[in-house]
Structure 1
Amino acid sequence: MVAIIKTGHSIHNIFNYNENKVKQGVAVCIGEGNYPVDATKMNATMKLNRFLKQLDLNDNVKRNSVHISLNFDSIENNISKEKLMDIADTYMEKIGFGQQPYLVYQHHDAGHPHIHIVSIKVRADGSRIDMQNIGRNQSETARKEIEKSFGLVVAQSGSKKQPFELLPIHSGKIHYGKIQSKKAIANVLNAVLPSYKYASLPELNAVLQQYNVYADRGSENSRIFKLNGLVYRILDQNGKPIGVPIKASDFHTKPTLKFLEDKFITNKNKPITHAKRIKNLIDLAFLNQKLTLTELTKILEKQGIAIVSRTNSEGLIYGITYVDHTTKCVFNGSSLGKEYSAKAIQERCGSAIPKTLEVPFVKTTKMLPSTAKVATANEGTSKETILGNTLVGELLEILIEPEYVSNYLPNPLKKRHKKRKRKGQSDNP
């Protein structure tokens, strides 16, 4: 079992999130704790008012709501509602919420069985429940005891040893405009937004595009842009938006433009060592070899770094962003330095074997052999091959030949020029 605890400023948002799941047919309220009436006999207003009345006892608690999810192994898909309620009641008691009002919802919109618990941080006497380090201390202890007493799959064993792998959204499996589309985008946002360090919307989109998601403000003349709105869209295999866009405010976590702008400020100062890691790997890739952009991309991918190119309508690259999935940092090319910008990278990239040999101008009195003499050197070889090989050989010989200058004299042997005495200057110091 894996327990995830989140707190919020509004009990309305958390409550409505779960109740909307019930209306959509992908969740059911299976029980309650410390309510005067069974959950099956209460409407939504009655459920919510129980929370609101107790929260009124202490207006100073800003983050007053609690949202907990208990997640079970995929093989445990036959746990009865009664057992799920027993697990929820035991867990709430062990983390210090046994006397708090709470609602338990069983969700069916994921590949593994899980329940959500909604509660509040204000006690019946108006005091606040301190939740600092509750996940590391009380919750972790409760999880281990519940796994043992209820015979659940231990979180550290079996498939849980494998780290969570976020995969791109398969556009062919999405029913646009329906719950599956929103859920798919939400999974990506929940994994990316809190963990990656991005300082602008293009940098964030560089990460989201890895999973076929795009945060769209619309055109500058659009209504959504003027109102500082934001929508999220699914991209097809060609990177084009498809399906119905979903407003940021429709997601439970509220990943709005205002929320992202706060993250941009927080993420502005990224660790210098993470930037150096990308620059060093790029320089190392170019060491003693020429690469195409495709070859450079493949080399960096092996180190967990993705290159995201921005192109104009003509298909020309005008920007490059580096997404380091190892350090979770995103850097615009120009922010790393001019030599890592889109223009510089394209200049550094080229064919592995040059199509033409450019002979640089060398000031020398030594003459290169004429084309006629080279052509007759070997009748069995083409003129172009002989000329090319000879030119290269002669050029190398010239370049490595030491230069002797006839008028060179060591400094000690050079005659020193007598300084001219300025007019009016005395010889006596």
Structure 2
Amino acid sequence: MVAKIKSGKSLIGALNYNENKVKKGKAELIVATGYPKDTADLSFYDKLLRLTDLAERNERTKTNTVHISLNFANGENLPDDKLQSITSDYMQGIGFGDQPCLVYRHLDAGHPHVHIVTTNIKKDGYRISLHYLGQNESEKARKSVEIKYGLIKAEDQPKQKPDLKADISPAEYGKAETKRVITNILSFMLRAYKFTSVTELNAVLQQYHIQADRGSKDSRMYAHEGLVYWLLDKQGNKMSVPIKASTIYGKPTLKTLEEKFRLNQQLRKPFKAELIKLIDQALAKPQTKRSFQRELKAKGIQVILRQNEEGRIYGVTFIDQQNKAVFNGSDLGKAYSANLLSAKFLPETQTKVVKAQQTENDAVHPSTSDNDELLGILFAAEREDLAALNKFKKKKRKGLNL
């Protein structure tokens, strides 16, 4: 069993996530602990108000939402009553045994799993500390539950070999088992593409709705050089639970990847000069971000621009799809770094002005062919008169026998 705890500031957001799944037939509420009504009789506001009533007893604590998912090995037969017992024991183990909670069984993934929505504010207004809850109390509770109910341990879940005949298409959460999807796509990417950093790897993976994640720079995972893989939705939001690199077939951990980075530094070199040539050709004329991406895409080069909320470009990666070579802009030279490259792009509105000016110039200064056509129209009548005069003179000469 794998447990994932998320904390937040929006009880209604966590509740809406699960209730929307219920409306779509992708989840069902199997138990509501600490509620005065039967599960079937609870309205949306009944579910929400029970939790917000507790949260309002401690207005100083803004992080008052706890959203937990318990994920079980594919193939484990877990009826609702067993899941209820498992979640009850787990919540007791992490110190949430007296808290009201809603347990949803989700039906949209290849493996059985439940989501639990609760709050860390107790009825006396005190809060339950969430500090290190995941790595301390949760790990102890998880191991205890695995033993009691005979579940497959998280450490013992088999590493699935990649299906080399699988269709490599963008991942879709719930369509197949998460770990198998990640294993198949990642295995293909590691063999096919030449990348030299996690950023470059993600430029490729994100096109297939997967992301490699080291965690924030102040996290324990980052400090210990850990690595997990997520499934993403079409908007790039993280879905499901993270899969540890060490549990995936072939162990694509950071240490393993760094060895591949060094090898790829040499393997991608032969394709650098040609890529620079294609970029220079595109930049030889005025370009916006979009037109630049379109022009290079037509030549088999995918341009990934990383932008902040204000639209400022802070990173750029080029993927040569024909040669499967990946380069960050700065690796190609200073001129192709994010800052200098973005300075060359025109705003979309300015491009329209340039085109309008070109049209106006063409009208004022027509080309040679346009001039010839215009002159032909202006002097058409005179040419007809001249032809008639010549014809008359020929007849006159003929009459005089000249």
Q: TM-score, normalised by structure 1?
A: 0.48
Partner in structure 2 of residue 154 of structure 1? 153
Q: From 207, 226, 240, give the equivalent of 1:209.
A: 207
Structure-2 change in CA distance of 1:275 and 1:321 (3 Å)? farther
Aligned amino acid, residue 44 of structure 1: F
Aligned amino acid, residue 129 of structure 1: I
Partner in structure 2 of residue 104 of structure 1? 103
Structure-2 change in CA distance of 1:286 and 1:81 (3 Å)? closer
CA distance in 2, matches of 1:322, 1:275: 19
CA distance in 1, matches of 2:162, 2:132: 23
1:170 deviation in Å?
Answer: 3.5
Which SS does the other structure have where 1:82 is aligned? helix
Identity of aligned pairs, percent? 34
Aligned amino acid, residue 296 of structure 2: N
Partner in structure 1 of residue 328 of structure 2? 333
CA distance in 1, matches of 2:73, 2:80: 16
CA distance in 2, matches of 1:313, 1:37: 58
Structure-2 change in CA distance of 1:109 and 1:93 (3 Å)? same
String of CA shifts for 1:298-350, please: whole Å, max 9, x gaps: xxxxxxxxxxx985265274868379xxxxxxx853323519969xxxxxxxx
Partner in structure 2 of residue 6 of structure 1? 6
Aligned residues: 251
Q: TM-score, normalised by structure 2?
A: 0.51
Q: From 316, 321, 325, give the equivalent of 2:317.
A: 321
Structure-2 change in CA distance of 1:19 and 1:313 (3 Å)? closer
1:284 deviation in Å?
Answer: 3.2
Aligned amino acid, residue 150 of structure 2: G
Give runs of aligned pairs for residues 191-210 of structure 1, distance below 5 A. Answer: 206-210=204-208
Give runs of aligned pairs for residues 50-89 of structure 1, distance below 5 A. Answer: 50-76=50-76, 78-89=77-88
Which SS does the other structure have where 1:104 is aligned? strand
Give runs of aligned pairs for residues 22-421 of structure 1, distance below 5 A. Answer: 22-76=22-76, 78-159=77-158, 161=159, 170=169, 206-211=204-209, 281=263, 284-285=266-267, 312=296, 314-315=298-299, 317=301, 321=317, 333-336=328-331, 338=333
Which structure 1 residue ranges, 5 or more long, are not aligned? Answer: 214-233, 235-244, 254-272, 295-308, 324-330, 343-429
CA distance in 2, matches of 1:110, 1:276: 32
What is the CA RMSD across the aligned residues, in angstroms? 4.8
Structure-2 change in CA distance of 1:311 and 1:100 (3 Å)? same
Bigger proportion of residues as helix: 2
Which SS does the other structure have where 1:131 is aligned? coil
Structure-2 change in CA distance of 1:252 and 1:50 (3 Å)? farther
Instruction: Indicate if the aligned counterparts of 2:27 and 2:107 stay in contact, CA closer than 8 A.
Output: yes
Which SS does the other structure have where 1:312 is aligned? helix
Instruction: Indicate if the aligned counterparts of 2:318 and 2:329 stay in contact, CA closer than 8 A.
Output: no
CA distance in 2, matches of 1:71, 1:136: 16
1:252 deviation in Å?
Answer: 8.4
Structure-2 change in CA distance of 1:164 and 1:31 (3 Å)? farther
1:211 deviation in Å?
Answer: 4.4
Which structure 2 residue ranges, 5 or more long, are not aligned? Answer: 187-196, 212-231, 240-254, 275-292, 304-315, 320-325, 338-402
Structure 1 segments of 4 or more deviating over 6 A?
Answer: 245-248, 273-279, 291-294, 339-342
Aligned amino acid, residue 62 of structure 1: K
1:87 deviation in Å?
Answer: 0.6
CA distance in 1, matches of 2:261, 2:88: 52
Instruction: Indicate if the aligned counterparts of 2:11 and 2:65 stay in contact, CA closer than 8 A.
Output: yes
Instruction: Indicate if the aligned counterparts of 2:209 and 2:234 stay in contact, CA closer than 8 A.
Output: no
1:285 deviation in Å?
Answer: 3.5
